[in-house]
Amino acid sequence: MDKIKFATVWLAGCSGCHMSFLDLDEWLIDLAAAVDVVFSPVGCDLKTYPEGVDVCLVEGAIANQENLELIYDVRRKTKLLISFGDCAVTANVPAMRNMLGSSSAVLKRAYLELGDVTPQLPDEPGIVPELLDRVVPVHEVVPVDIFMPGCPPSADRIRATLEPLLKGEMPVMEGRSMIKFG
């Protein structure tokens, strides 16, 4: 029988969740034996999200047009989508810019008001993805199957989430060890 097709994506986040994923250490070897890693910023170098993915860990919030297009693609091609870490679940730190209002207010603050040498707005259509007005958690734009909070989720929590899935079971996301934010 085919192995589970496993993917991870990195949207608006600090990659800390992926770092924590690497903290799985030797269990990564067990995981590698059980799954085919078909897409991941830390596992392979594909540019296009493939069809027929079984499980995908999504790190990060939805902050720009590229995040949005990718998450639509991920949702369409993935059976089980996991919001991986606080940015995916709550929009977390990336969303702190929402308090400023729209994206233009953020850009103005970052590139004009705080720009020290040559203040100018980044504008490269087709190359630099446009910011969305509001950073939102993943489940605000696509349905999410499992929520794994944490900033980052500890390796233990990641393992406790993935291990049952390998056996065809749903993990129980309950209790401090599994769902505490932060």
Partner 1 sequence: MDWAELLEIAETEKHRQRGIRVHCCTSTGCRAANSLDVMRNMQNAVEDANLGDRVEVVGVGCMGFCGRGPLVQVDPEELLYEEVTPETASSIIDALHGGEATPIQGDVHHPFFSRQMKIVRQHSGKLDPERIEDYIAAGGYQGLYKALYDLTPADVVDEITRSGLRGRGGGGYPTGLKWATVGKMPGDQKYVICNGDEGDPGAFMDRSVLESDPHLILEGMAIAGYAIGANHGYIYVRAEYPLAIQRLQKAIQQAKKYGLLGSQIFDSAFDFKIDIRIGAGAFVCGEETALIHSIEGARGNPRPRPPYPAESGLWHCPTLINNVETLANISAIIKGGADWYAGIGTETSKGTKIFALTGKIRNNGLIEVPMGITLREIVEEMGGGVPDGMVKAVQTGGPSGGCIPATLLDTPVDYDSLMKVGSMMGSGGMVVMDHETSMVEVARFYMEFCRGETCGKCVPCRTGTVQLYSLLNKLVNRQATQADLDTMEALCYMVKETSLCGLGMTAPNPVLSTLRYFKEEYDALLQTPAYLNGHSVQSDAIASSVSP
Partner 2 sequence: MSVKTLTIDGTAIAIEEGATILQAAKEAGVPIPTLCHLEGVSDVGACRLCLVEVKGINKLLPACVTEVAEGMNIQTNTEKLQTYRRMTVELLFAEGNHVCSVCVANNNCELQDVAVQVGMDHSRFTYRFPDRGVDISHKQFGIDHNRCILCTRCVRVCDEVEGAHVWDVAQRGAACYIVSGLNQPWGEVDACTSCGKCVDACPTGAIFRKGDTTAEKVGDRAKLEFLVTAREQQQWTR
Residues that bind partner 2 (CB under 8 A): 83, 86, 89-93, 95-96, 98-99, 101, 134, 136-137, 139-140, 144, 147-149, 151, 173-176, 178-182
Residue number, 76 or 180, with CB nearest to partner 1: 76
Smallest CA-to-CA distance from 123 within 137, 110, 107 is with 107
d(CA 18, CA 2): 25
Closest approach of partner 1 to the CB of residue 118, in Å: 37
Residue number, 17 or 55, with CB nearest to partner 1: 55
Residue number, 40 or 98, with CB nearest to partner 2: 98
Closest approach of partner 2 to the CB of residue 133, in Å: 11
Check if the beta carbon of residue 58 is closer than 8 Å to that of residue 82.
Answer: yes
The 10 Å CB-count burial string (b at 16+, else e) for 96-109 is: ebbeeeebeebbbe
Choose from partner 2, partner 1, none: what does 108 bind? Cβ within 5-8 Å by kind. Answer: none
d(CA 144, CA 139): 5
Applying CB under 8 A, the residues found at the interface with partner 1 are 1-4, 34, 52, 54-55, 71-72, 75-80, 141-143, 145, 165-170
Closest approach of partner 2 to the CB of residue 164, in Å: 15
Choose from partner 1, partner 2, none: what does 134 bind? Cβ within 5-8 Å by kind. Answer: partner 2
Query: CA torsion sign, 31 to 32 to 38 to 43?
Result: positive
Residue number, 43 or 150, with CB nearest to partner 2: 150
Question: Residue 69 phi/psi, 5° resolution?
Answer: -65, -40
Check if the beta carbon of residue 139 is closer than 8 Å to that of residue 83.
Answer: yes
